[in-house]
Structure 1
Amino acid sequence: MPQLRVLARLTRLLLVLLLGMLMASVIALGERLGLKASIERRQRWSCLFMKRLVAALPFKVRVIGQLPQRPMLWVSNHVSWADIPLLGMLQPLSFLSKAEVRHWPVAGWLAEKAGTLFIRRGGGDSQRLREQISTQLGEARPLLIFPEGTTTNGHGLRTFHGRLLAGAIDQGVAVQPVAIQYLRDGVIDPIAPFIGDDDLVSHLLRLFAQPRGEVCIHLLQPIASAQKERAVLALQAQQAIHGALFGVEEAVRVPQRQARAA
C-alpha cells in the first residue's frame, strides 16, 4: 500500500511538473518572439503553478486570517521547501530565496521569471539586496521573505534578521507576518521539515509514503513600518509569528546597541 501511494503521488507530481514545463515553454517562446510577458502576468502564472503543485502534495491546507488588500512585505517562518508553493498559491508574490533554488528544475525557472530575488548566503551584498527589496516594494509588488535565513524543525524560531526588513521601512510598506505550521496527528510534523543536508528527492519520497499531514497558515495582523528601527520591526514580526505558533507573547524589548547593529 505505501508503495502504491508513493507511485500515485509521484505520477500526479510529474503531471504538474509537465504543466510547469509547458508554461515555461510558452513564456520562453514569447520572449523569443519579442512578446515578453509583464512581471504581473508571470506572477499570476507562477501562482497558478503553485496551486497545482500544492494540490499534488500530501497536505490538507487550512488558511486562517485575511489576505492583504494592498502590496506588503510578507514575513514568514521557514520550515520546508514546501513553504514556497504553500504561500505562493495564496496570491501572486515575488520571493527572496537562496541561490540554490534558481537551479531547481521547472520551479526554479518559473521562480526567476516571476521576479524572485536570489541571495547568496555569506555573499556580503546586503546593500544591493536592500536596494532590490526596496525597488520591488516601491513598484507595488508584494514580496515574501524568510528572515530566519534557514529552515527549522518547526519547534521554535531563529532570530529574524532586521536587515531584510529595511526595504519596507525605506518605502513605508507594512509588514504582513505569516506563521506556517505543519501538523501530523495533532502534533508538530517531524517529516515535513527540510533541514540540514537533506536532499529534495529523499524528502519527497518520505512525504509521499505517509498519510496526508495538515498545514495551518496564519495570516496575522499587518505591522506598520513607518518610523521604526529595523530590529524593532523584525522583533515585532517574530513575536507575532511566535505567538501564533506557540501561544507565547512577550513584550518588545530591543537594546539600543542591537537596534543599531541589526
Structure 2
Amino acid sequence: MGRLRVYARIARVLLVVALGLTMASVFGLFERAGIAHSMVRRQRWSRFFMRRLSNALPFRVTVHGELPKTPMLWVSNHVSWTDIPLLGMITPLSFLSKAEVRTWPVAGWLAAKAGSLFIRRGAGDSQLIRKQMTRHLQQAHPLLMFPEGTTTDGRSLRTFHGRLLSAAIDAEVPMQPVAIRYLRDGEIDRLAPFIGDDDLLSHLMRLFANDQGEVEIHVLKPIACEGRERAALAFEAQQAVQRALFGEVTKPAEPQRVGELIAA
C-alpha cells in the first residue's frame, strides 16, 4: 500500500482524536464551572466519538444479534485496543479498564472523561471497584468489562474471571456476553491483536499499511444473574463466547462451589 495512503489514514485518526480532545475539554470546562454532566450524556458523547474513531480504522464491521434494551453488564473477549472503539460504537457504554490506562497520554484522559472505571491489578481494591460497578449498573448505566484480564491473539480464550461479576448479581441486572473476532482473507487476523510488548504507534502503522480487515461482533443471548454464583456466570459467559467464535467445544466440568469441593 502506498505511503501516502498510510499517512492519510493516520491523519484521519489524528483528526478524530483532536475531536475527542475538544469534546473532553468541554466536559472539563463544565466541571470546573460546577456544571455536572450526567453519565447518560457522557456515554452518548463517547459513542459519538467511538463511531468516528471506528470509521477511521481499517476494518469492515458486521454486528450480529440483537442489542439489549435494558442496562446490563457486558462481558467480552479481548484481542486489541481496537475492541474498545468497535464495541463502544454499537451502543452507549462505559468501560472497566486497568488503572495504567488512566496515565496514558491523551487516551487516559479521554477514557476518564468518558466515564470509565479504573481498577489496579493486585492492589486489593476489588471490593471498592465492585461497589462502584454495582452503583453504576443500579443507576441504569451499561458497563463493559473484559473478564480475561488481558488481550489474546484471537485464536483462543483465556479463563473468564468471575470476581467482579458479583456487581451484576448485586445490581440485579443481566449479563450480556459479546464475542469479537478479527478476520483477514477468511482467516484469523494476525495484525489486529495487540499483545506482549507491542506499542501503539507500531501497531497502528502495521494496520494502516495493509488492506481492510473484517470484524465480526456477536451480541449473544443475555444471561440472568439472579441467584447465581459468580464462578458459574463466568463459566457460562466463557462458553457462550467460545461457541460464537470457534463453534461447539467439548464442555469441561462446570466449576463447583467450595462446599461441594469440601464434601467431595
Bucket of the pairwise TM-score, normalised by the shorter protein:
over 0.9
Tell me if the contact between 1:65 and 1:219 (Cα under 8 Å) persists in the aligned partners.
yes
Partner of 2:4: 4
Secondary structure (helix, strand or coil) at the match of 1:43 reads helix
Tell me if the contact between 2:98 and 2:120 (Cα under 8 Å) persists in the aligned partners.
yes
Structure 1 segment 59-70 matched on structure 2, within 5 A: 59-70=59-70
Partner of 1:202: 202
Secondary structure (helix, strand or coil) at the match of 1:179 reads strand
- Deviation, structure 1 residue 91: 1.2
Partner of 2:215: 215
Superposed CA RMSD in Å reads 1.6
Tell me if the contact between 2:119 and 2:126 (Cα under 8 Å) persists in the aligned partners.
no
Partner of 1:22: 22
Alignment-mate amino acid for residue 234 of structure 1:
A
- Deviation, structure 1 residue 215: 0.5
Structure 1 segment 239-250 matched on structure 2, within 5 A: 239-250=239-250
- Deviation, structure 1 residue 80: 0.3
Secondary structure (helix, strand or coil) at the match of 1:202 reads helix
Tell me if the contact between 2:39 and 2:115 (Cα under 8 Å) persists in the aligned partners.
yes
Alignment-mate amino acid for residue 84 of structure 1:
I
Distance 2:248 2:108 in 1: 36
In structure 1, the gaps of 5 or more residues are none
Quickly say closer, same or farther: Cα 1:159–1:50, change in 2 above 3 A.
same
Alignment-mate amino acid for residue 168 of structure 2:
A
What TM-score does the superposition give when structure 2 sets the normalisation length? 0.94
Tell me if the contact between 1:39 and 1:113 (Cα under 8 Å) persists in the aligned partners.
no
Partner of 2:175: 175
Percent of counterpart pairs with the same letter? 65
- Deviation, structure 1 residue 128: 1.2
In structure 2, the gaps of 5 or more residues are none
Partner of 1:143: 143
- Deviation, structure 1 residue 138: 1.2
Render the CA deviation track for 1:59-85: whole Å, top value 9, x for unaligned: 000000011000000000000000011
Deviates more, 1:66-75 or 1:132-141: 132-141
Alignment: residue pair count: 260
Quickly say closer, same or farther: Cα 1:218–1:259, change in 2 above 3 A.
farther
- Deviation, structure 1 residue 223: 0.4
Tell me if the contact between 1:230 and 1:259 (Cα under 8 Å) persists in the aligned partners.
no
Partner of 2:224: 224
Distance 2:220 2:119 in 1: 26
Secondary structure (helix, strand or coil) at the match of 1:15 reads helix
- Deviation, structure 1 residue 249: 4.1
Distance 1:217 1:50 in 2: 15
Render the CA deviation track for 1:12-34: whole Å, top value 9, x for unaligned: 01111111111112112222222
Partner of 2:164: 164
- Deviation, structure 1 residue 107: 3.3
Q: Does residue 1:256 correspond to 2:257, yes or no?
A: yes
Render the CA deviation track for 1:1-52: whole Å, top value 9, x for unaligned: 4312210101101111111111112112222222222121111111111001
Partner of 2:113: 113
Distance 2:259 2:82 in 1: 32
Tell me if the contact between 2:178 and 2:218 (Cα under 8 Å) persists in the aligned partners.
yes
Quickly say closer, same or farther: Cα 1:250–1:236, change in 2 above 3 A.
farther
Alignment-mate amino acid for residue 10 of structure 1:
I
Q: Does residue 1:190 correspond to 2:190, yes or no?
A: yes
